[in-house]
Amino acid sequence: MPIWRYAIATLTPLALLLAGAIWGGWWAGLALIWLTVLAAGLDHLLSPPPRGPARHSAAADPLSVLLALGHLVLLALAARAFGDVTRSPAEQVTLLLAAGSFLGQVSHPNAHELIHRAPRALRRLGGAVYASMLFGHHVSAHRLVHHTHVGTPDDPNTPRPGESFWIFLPRAWIGSFRAGLAAERARDARRRGLNPYLWYLTGSALALILAAWIGAAGGVIGLVVLATLAHAQILLSDYIQHYGLSRTRLPGGKWEPVAAHHSWNAPRGFTSYLMVNAPAHSDHHMHPDTPYDALVIPGNAPILPWSMPVMAVLATMPRRWRRVMDRRAAKAMEQAAPLNQRPPGNPQT
C-alpha cells in the first residue's frame, strides 16, 4: 500500500498542532476536527488497507521517525503554549484536547511500531516517545509481558471476563508496571546492565523538568494532563482489542499459540491509516516484527463493529459496551473452538 496515505493521515494533524502551539488561533481546532469528525466521516468513504499480502515500503520507517521527532517537538511547543498566560482558555483547552487525541491515536501507535522494529535506534526512539508521555514502562510491559501472555490471566493488559474499562484501567496500569519490572529483573539475572526502568523514569523526569523550564507551572500541568489522556487511550486500545478473547490451556499445561481469534481488528478507510494500521491487531500479535504497512487482516480474525475511536467512546459506557460486545466475543470464541482443539503442532491460521 502506498505510504503516502499514512503520511497524509498522520502528518496533517501534526502540522496543524504545531501551528496551533506556535501561533494559537484556530489551528488546533482544525487538528481536533481532523482527528474526530473528519476521521469518522472518511471512514465511510475511503477503502481500508487491503486484506491480501502487502509489501513493506522503504518510506515506512522514515515516516515513523518523522512522526516520533514531531511528537517530541510538539510536546515542547505545547508546554510553552500552556505556560503562555496571554492565550485564552478556549485556545488552551482546544490545544489540550487536540494534542491529547494526537498522542493517543497517532503517537502511541507509531511508538508501538518503533519498539517492535529491529534497529536499536528505532526501538530507543519509540521508548523516548513513551517516556515523554510518562509511560516508559509500557515498552517493557508490552514486549515482554503482553505479547507473551496475551489472552491469559498472566497478562495485566488482557481484560477479565465482563470487566468494565474503569476497573481495568487502574488494574492494567499498576499490573503492567509491576509485571514489566519483574520481567526486566528476570532478564537482569541473566545479563549485566542497567535496568531499562531507570531510563524510563529518568526520561519522564527529564520531560517534566523541560516542561517546567519551557512553560513553568502551566507547562508541567499541561504535560501531566496530556500524559493522563494518552495513558487512558493506550489502555483503551488494549481493552478494546482483547476484550472477551482468551487462549485455551492445552493438555500439556501450556497455552495455545497466539492466533487470529485472540485480537479484535477494525479495518476502516481512514482511521487505519491515522492509527498507523494498529487496528490490524491479529496479524501484529502473530507476527510482531512485521512492519505496520505490511500487516493484513486474517480471514478468520474477529472484526469490531465500528472504528477504534468509536469503540473507545463506547468502552467508557460499561453497560452499553457489554450489550454490544459480550455476545460478539462469545460468538468469536465459539467459532474458534475447532481451532483450539487442533494438536499443538498444527498451524493456527
- Per-residue pLDDT at 52: 66
Question: What are the residue ranges in the chain where pLDDT is below 50?
Answer: 341-349
CB count in 10 Å sphere of residue 232: 17
Domain containing residue 134: 4-339
Per-residue pLDDT of 61-90, as tens digits, reads 999 999 999 999 999 999 999 999 999 999
How far is it, in rounded angstroms, from Cα 136 to Cα 106?
Answer: 17
- Three-class HEC string of 110-156: HHHHHHCCCCHHHHHHHHHHHHHCCCCCHHHHHHHHHHHHCCCCCCC
303 forms bridges with which residues in the sheet? 265
349, part of any domain: no
Inter-residue contact 235 to 172 (CB < 8 Å): yes
Residue 266 lies in a domain: yes
For residue 344, the model assigns a pLDDT of 40
Bridge partners, 249 (sequence order): 255
Q: Give domain status of residue 324, yes or no.
A: yes
The single residue listed with the C-alpha cell 511547543 is 77
Does 346 map to a domain?
no
Q: What is the pLDDT of residue 345?
A: 39
Helix (H, G, I), strand (E, B) or coil at 58: coil
Number of domains forming the structure of the chain:
1
d(CA 217, CA 237): 30
Residue listed under C-alpha cell 512485521: 290
pLDDT tens-digit readout, 213-246: 999 999 999 999 999 999 999 999 999 999 999 9
Residue 344 domain-assigned? no
257, 348 in Cβ contact below 8 A? yes
297 within 8 A of 265, measured Cβ to Cβ? yes
Distances (CA, A) of 22 to 15, 18, 107, 274: 11, 6, 19, 23
For residue 347, what pLDDT is reported? 34
Encode pLDDT of 96-106 as tens digits. Answer: 999 999 999 99
In a domain, 348, yes or no: no
CA–CA gap between residue 274 and residue 34 (Å, rounded):
10
**53 in a domain, yes or no?**
yes
pLDDT in the model for residue 50: 72
| pTM, entire model | 0.94
Q: Residue 209: exposed, middle, or buried by beta-carbon count in 10 A (0-12, 13-18, 19+)?
A: exposed
User: How far, CA to CA in Å, does 173 sit from each of 62, 116, 156, 158?
Assistant: 31, 20, 8, 11
Report the C-alpha dihedral over residues 15, 225, 273, 111, rounded to 10 degrees: 100
**Residue whose cell numbers read 497478562:** 155
Residue 347 lies in a domain: no
For residue 72, the one-letter residue type is L
pLDDT at 346: 37
Cβ pair 113, 64 in contact under 8 A: yes
